[in-house]
Amino acid sequence: MRAGWRWTVCAVTVAVLVAVPFAVRYAPVSTPDTGPAALLARMQASRSTPYQGYAESSGTLALPTTDQLNDLSTLLSGRTQMRVWWRSATDWRSDTLTPAGEHSTRTTSAGTLVWDYEDNRVGVSAPGAANTVRLPQDTDTLPPALAARMLSEATADELSALPARRVAGRAAEGLELRPSDALSSVGRVDVWADAASGIPVLVEVFGRSADLPAMSSTFLDFSDAAPTAGDLAFTAPPRARVRSVARTDFVGQIARFGGPRPPETLLGFTRSTPGAGLATIGEYGDGVTQLVVSAVSAQLAGSLRDSLRLASGARELPEGLVVSVGPLGLLLTTSRGGTTWLVAGTVTADGLARAATELGAVAA
């Protein structure tokens, strides 16, 4: 064989080998045509199904960076890489990779252990209370958790089928949710579920009139095999500091303020039953249309207002200071009685303005 032909054969061989993964990924996928309503039912039935894998989530929700919202801003505006082993809501482990290292979380019915690589510290906390309002965490962006939140109140008339595709090398069936609520700032949610198990493996959330997802989460490696005890085992590293910690975050700071209680209804939504110690925080809405409302102290309001004014898209309206980041909206508004309210959720600017008007009538 002449040298020229040998190089040609080598080049073709390399090209074929390189193309194989892409061919597998984009090859036509054959799945049963069950319809979007039936697929939604399969996804909902899979919530108790164990799984494991490696997932990445990415967000374009460039929230303003504040002392209170720094972790949330990082989670919703960057890339999060996680390895997860999931048996149930009270029996799982996840490892989140960060630029500085990683942190590992082990949750059981007895509580949660969180190891921070950089500080070599293990925090031990008691189980979280039911109906707890809190800021999103890493594992809330995993495809199964994000899909459960987004599709919780979906109706058949809001659903349509999407073409099947391969996710993490496995066949996946898709559906699209287009919210019918005119107040929702979410334009659509696309979800693909593993054809074998029904577990959501890819989720994309779009704002209104947006071509790119505001938040996406996908498995790059996935198995519906149940994790073993060895997978979930957690042992504190040598010389790690082990400390009991209380669950405190921005929501806890607001709850301790003890301001007036939010109204029982807002924008036509009935307030959800608050958890223990959260009587001053109001949670409203369902599915993709959600609102959280609370009165805030003058000191916290001043700090937030200074930070929010620096955010891209911040606007001073008659109803208050509004920041819209994709489908997420933040509002600081002061009622006639002098109470400052913080409103956050996935409602349109018109919805935020209406909420401000209704909160203006709440007695201090």
**Highest-confidence range of 66-80, 240-254, 295-309, by mean pLDDT?**
295-309
Specify the higher pLDDT residue, 273 or 229.
229
Same domain membership, residue 33 and residue 104 = yes
Whole-number pLDDT of residue 118: 77
Residue 255 phi/psi, 5-degree rounding, is -60, -35
Same domain membership, residue 158 and residue 57 = yes
Query: Alpha helix (H) ranges present in the chain?
Result: 3-26, 36-45, 70-77, 143-150, 229-232, 250-257, 298-308, 349-359
Compute how many other C-beta atoms are within 10 angstroms of the C-beta atom of residue 8.
Answer: 12
Average pLDDT score over the chain: 81
Whole-number pLDDT of residue 13: 37
Indicate which CATH number applies to the domain containing 312.
3.30.200
How many domains are contained in the chain?
Answer: 2
Whole-number pLDDT of residue 8: 42
pLDDT in tens, 191-214: 999 999 999 999 999 998 778 898
| Residue 308 pLDDT level (bands cut at 50, 70, 90) | confident
Last residue in a domain, options 175, 210, 244: 244
Question: 64 lies in which domain range?
Answer: 29-244
Does position 37 have pLDDT exceeding 80, yes or no? Answer: yes
Here the tokens at position 164 are 């099947």
The model carries a pTM of: 0.81
Specify the higher pLDDT residue, 120 or 185.
185
Whole-number pLDDT of residue 21: 41
| Any domain includes 21 | no
pLDDT in tens, 177-196: 999 999 999 999 999 999 99
Whole-number pLDDT of residue 242: 85
Specify the higher pLDDT residue, 293 or 129.
293
Indicate which CATH number applies to the domain containing 64.
2.50.20.10
Last residue in a domain, options 244, 277, 309: 244
| Residue 26 pLDDT level (bands cut at 50, 70, 90) | very low
DSSP 347: B
Q: Tokens 């799984």 belong to which residue?
A: 51
Last residue in a domain, options 244, 274, 303: 244
